Structure 1
Amino acid sequence: MDRATDPHPYDALLLLSFGGPEGPDDVLPFLENVTRGRGIPRERLAEVGAHYHLFGGVSPINEQNRTLLAALRADFAAHGLDLPVHWGNRNWGPYLTDTLREMVRAGHRRVLVFATSAYASYSGCRQYREDLAGALATLTAEGLQPPRVDKLRHYFNHPGFLTTMTDGVLDALARLPEDVRDGAHLAFTTHSIPDSAADTSGPPASHGPGGAYVAQHLDAARHIADAVRAATGTERPWRLVYQSRSGAPHIPWLEPDIGDHLAELHASGAPAVVMVPIGFVSDHMEVLYDLDTEAMATAAELGLPAVRSATVGADPRFVAAVRDLVLERAATERGETPARCALGALGPSHDLCPVGCCPGRRDLPAAAGADSPYA
């Protein structure tokens, strides 16, 4: 087999995502899944659930993952990559454990995992790995031989991700009125997380203020801003900001919030802003509500012209990036030294999460890392 399309030793790819409700009756059970063990009051869940009910109780994330799943299968087939692609979620159907069970029964023994989270953090990486370990433990308890699972590296700086995001910013700028376009600021937005989680994100060597989570976002944002400047000939002020905070008020989370930042931009005389959802792979609820609904309403109240750039979704360049990451990891597992594509200053991320990477509140087993109980 041509090494350029050889997935060996892997025999399947698992698209692993967050999941979301697909009808009004799903909303509260879904939120209970997401927050289980965290002691979130039911009234708070109902408050968050109201956001979903504004859109018929349906999160777009599952449909977007179906689109990505189909795009991956089509791309693999078109490029001669014989690798089945399956899909499982952490918090809603199709559930991860059910998908892995089906994969085992189909004979899969070496599984690569592509998670729809591009950056290092507990919620964006290790929690997925903990859920993988929990699913493998369930299969073992059922008398099934669990497959070996490996997780693809973080792809926040892969050209297929950054180039697609850059073109989304250029398209968004073109939608602004011409008289404010050249002066538009860029607000790179991602999910806020507790300061403590950010500070311990990534390998232990990266721990410190903001950790790998902030450093990776800043590196990606800086590259996009530079690429936009090169394409337009205009230097634009930019800042990394945060959204979708959900924790207790007394616990410090990453700031500034996008709403506060929009107010600051207006007060400083900024003529316009492009909100760039750099922390998100697709236009799911936190983009649809927190940016397209709340943040856009804030900008309108302020009289600040604002547009939002697209996420990568199932763009062919992003899909091709997944294929590239699959073949890169397969070649590495075969003992080869493939080229590892990365833009920006940080270089390609690690393949195997080291001990102490993105620790959580509890010391739970996590698969696909140096401390995995499943070799």
Structure 2
Amino acid sequence: MGDVAYDAFLLVSFGGPEGQEDVLPFLENVTRGRGIPRERLETVAEHYRHFGGVSPINAQCRELLQALDLDLPVYWGNRNWHPFLEDTVRQLRDDGVQHALAFVTSPFGSFSSCRQYLDDIAKARANVEGAPQIDKIRHYHDHPGYIAPHADAVRAALAQLPSRMAARLVFTAHSIPTAMNDSSGPDGKRYEAQLRETAALVAAEAAPELPWDLVWQSRSGSPHVPWLEPDVNAHLEHLAEQGVTEVVVSPIGFISDHLEVVWDLDEEARATAARLGLAYVRAATPGTDPRFVAMIRQLVDERVLAHSNVRHALGTVPTWDFCPADCCVSPKRA
């Protein structure tokens, strides 16, 4: 198989509001068709308004694009806010792009973190006559460029605690409905398996002598629908009951400090820890760490140089370049 002739790089992300007036329209985009009550949107809106109505994610995307040094022209499109993916696909077409390679700002496989982005890309292409072909880069949950920044961040966080050897590592990721986890990947539960492998790799590199747990954050939706548990706040309660006095919380499910990180961990979980008397440090996310940026370039080269057998991976949970149509389907369709 020869090299693939990609002629553009496309960053695809979730999107976020950039001012107070954007907050509710953004949340309406996120929840469209899900029947979320207005009062629930108002509650979540307060999280954004706490930060001036600005989600950090768009600025982080701009910083990431600026840090990239690719031989391809770069574009950016969001699922839920400007720049919208469909508008970006139209720009790709107008610029004469024939075959773009998309990097999604989620390393993991599930409906919400992978398949929904594939569906978004397909919908945007269907709505743009003459749209270019767009391929998505594989999952990168165990890539050295993802693991190393998280591991260094855990080390730096541990150094801030009174007694490093007394610490417990708590790795977090966005919770999803258990039905969505069960349908993730061809063999099911791929989302949780990838995250557990990421946690194990980061712990082994950062502090192999310390115990660790994988827990969940940012659940939403009906309380009657089962989601992955335990929640980080409930887990902190459990650790305090066990006599743990120091914790490092590492958001391994996030590539940068999304609103879910700065609100759910820096505000809510930190307050829980303070109430429990736990020494608490939240580890950083990769952001524009040079190793993470280099990882993206490596993933591009890996796909462009299709004849190459080089594949950067530290784990054993498999990843692949192209997802089958029945992979990670919506729980409603499963």
TM-score when normalising by structure 2: 0.97
After TM superposition, list the pairs within 5 Å mapping 1:69-108 onto structure 2.
69-72=65-68, 75-76=69-70, 82-108=71-97
User: For residue 156 of structure 2, what is the amino acid of its counterpart?
Assistant: D
Counterpart of 1:167 (choices 143, 148, 152) is: 152
The runs of at least 4 aligned residues of structure 1 exceeding 6 Å deviation read none
- Write out per-residue CA displacement over residues 237-279 of structure 1, whole angstroms, 9 at most, x where no aligned residue: 1110000000101110000000001111111111200001000
C-alpha deviation, 1:183, in angstroms: 1.3
Q: Secondary structure at the match of 2:128?
A: helix
Q: What 5-or-longer segments of structure 2 have no aligned partner? A: none
Aligned to 1:373: none
Task: Report sequence identity in percent.
Answer: 55
Q: Secondary structure at the match of 1:357?
A: coil
Whether 1:133 and 2:122 are equivalent positions in the alignment is yes
| Closer, same or farther: CA 352–318 of 1 in aligned 2, 3 Å | same
| Closer, same or farther: CA 262–39 of 1 in aligned 2, 3 Å | same
Q: Secondary structure at the match of 1:175?
A: coil
- Write out per-residue CA displacement over residues 144-203 of structure 1, whole angstroms, 9 at most, x where no aligned residue: x111111000001000000111111011111112xx211101100000000000011012
Contact 1:7 1:326 survives alignment (8 Å): no
Aligned to 2:274: 300
Aligned to 1:218: 196
C-alpha deviation, 1:362, in angstroms: 5.6
Contact 2:92 2:131 survives alignment (8 Å): no
Q: What 5-or-longer segments of structure 1 have no aligned partner? A: 1-5, 77-81, 365-375
After TM superposition, list the pairs within 5 Å mapping 1:104-115 onto structure 2.
104-115=93-104
Aligned-residue RMSD, C-alpha: 1.4
Q: How far apart in 2 are the matches of 1:175 and 1:344?
A: 29
After TM superposition, list the pairs within 5 Å mapping 1:197-346 onto structure 2.
197-203=180-186, 206-207=187-188, 211-229=189-207, 235-332=209-306, 336-346=307-317
Whether 1:27 and 2:1 are equivalent positions in the alignment is no
Contact 1:166 1:224 survives alignment (8 Å): yes
Contact 1:7 1:83 survives alignment (8 Å): no
Contact 1:195 1:252 survives alignment (8 Å): yes
TM-score when normalising by structure 1: 0.87
> Aligned residues, how many?
333
